[in-house]
């Protein structure tokens, strides 16, 4: 995706209008009274919302123009279905719909092929989920979706898992002005470690040169298989601090193991 691009699909994004909450409400009232010129104003006044959403997908290798157009479809669906009586901010309602539209587009263009039957169940499940969310103002459970579709819940779970986008282990999920935290940092190791006892002995010897906090973090991460979030919660510091201490400790150990 091209970053810092001013013009997308012929739209100068640096000059997009911003609507106040009062203006938004007034336009929605006009739209619901049949004034479709108000719909166009609502679309133009919320294009910045689409721009902010598509930034989440800037590592997918997709053309920004394509994602912007798909996001606009989600925006228009949100405008057409928004209910003022629910007393919910429009952005709160619209963002999930824009994200959903983009994810559907990415799934349809995914090189990993999923069987037609699974895709059908998955798409029906997504439609039912959106309908139940709008009806009950909350996310439905898998069981509720299963009952609505009259499909076993195991099939619903399997179908939804099958259409999920693959994620790189090295995709950054958080950055606090320093070292990024990657997906792989959130994965615990639950494998049997008996076959790795020789490596553990070498690591434990190198760990003797670390501080008590560094020892604790590495022990919890690599010997107990805990995620950085679990470590952070247990010792009372932020996940970003855990990440920095972990990397510094590993670097220090590496010098002594060589």
Evaluate whether 218 touches 250 at the Cβ level (below 8 Å): yes
* pLDDT tens-digit series, residues 178-232: 566 665 565 555 554 444 555 556 656 766 778 888 888 878 887 778 888 888 8
Distance CA 203, CA 206 (A): 5
Distance CA 141, CA 254 (A): 47
Evaluate whether 50 touches 68 at the Cβ level (below 8 Å): yes
Task: Name the residue with higher pLDDT: 249 or 207.
Answer: 249
- Residue by residue, DSSP assigns 185-253 as GG----S--GGGHHHHHHHHHHHTTS-HHHHHHHIIIIIS---HHHHHHHHTS-HHHHHHHHHHHHHHH
Range 111-166 classified under CATH 2.60.120.650: no
Local confidence band at 92 (pLDDT 50, 70, 90 cut-offs): confident
1-109 and 172-257, same CATH topology: no
* pLDDT tens-digit series, residues 3-61: 445 556 566 666 777 888 888 889 888 988 888 888 899 888 888 888 888 888 876 66
The CATH number of domain 172-257, selected from 1.10.10.10, 2.60.40.2250, 1.20.810.10, 2.60.120.260: 1.10.10.10
The arithmetic mean of pLDDT across residues 236-249, rounded, is: 85
pTM (global) more than 0.75: no
Q: Is the pLDDT of residue 159 over 50?
A: yes
Per domain, the residue ranges of the chain are 1-109, 111-166, 172-257
The CATH number of domain 1-109, selected from 1.10.443.10, 3.20.20.150, 1.20.120.1810, 1.10.645.10: 1.20.120.1810
- Pseudo-torsion of CA 18, 21, 25, 30, nearest 10°? -30
């Amino acid at each position: 995706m091209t970053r810092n691009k001013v013009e997308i699909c012929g739209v100068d994004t640096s000059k997009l209008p911003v609507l106040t909450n009062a203006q938004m409400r007034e336009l929605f009232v006009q739209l619901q009274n049949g004034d479709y010129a108000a719909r166009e104003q609502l679309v133009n006044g919320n294009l910045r919302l689409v721009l902010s959403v598509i930034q989440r997908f800037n590592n997918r290798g997709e053309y920004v123009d394509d994602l912007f157009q798909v996001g606009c479809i989600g925006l228009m669906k949100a405008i057409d279905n928004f209910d003022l009586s629910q007393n919910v901010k429009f952005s709160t309602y619209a963002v999930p719909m824009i994200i959903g539209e983009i994810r559907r587009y990415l799934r349809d263009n995914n090189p990993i092929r999923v069987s037609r039957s699974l895709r059908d169940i998955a798409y029906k499940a997504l439609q039912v989920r959106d309908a139940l969310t709008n009806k009950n103002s909350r996310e439905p459970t898998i069981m509720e979706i299963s009952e609505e579709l009259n499909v076993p819940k195991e099939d619903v779970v399997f179908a939804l898992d099958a259409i999920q986008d693959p994620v790189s282990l090295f995709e950054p999920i958080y950055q606090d002005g320093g070292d990024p935290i990657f997906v792989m940092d959130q994965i615990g190791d639950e494998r049997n470690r008996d076959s790795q006892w020789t490596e553990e002995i070498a690591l434990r010897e190198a760990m003797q040169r670390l501080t008590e906090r560094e020892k604790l973090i590495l022990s919890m991460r690599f010997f107990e298989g805990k995620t950085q979030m679990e470590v952070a919660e247990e010792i009372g510091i932020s996940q970003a601090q855990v990440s920095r201490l972990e990397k510094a400790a590993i670097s220090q150990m590496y010098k002594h193991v060589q």
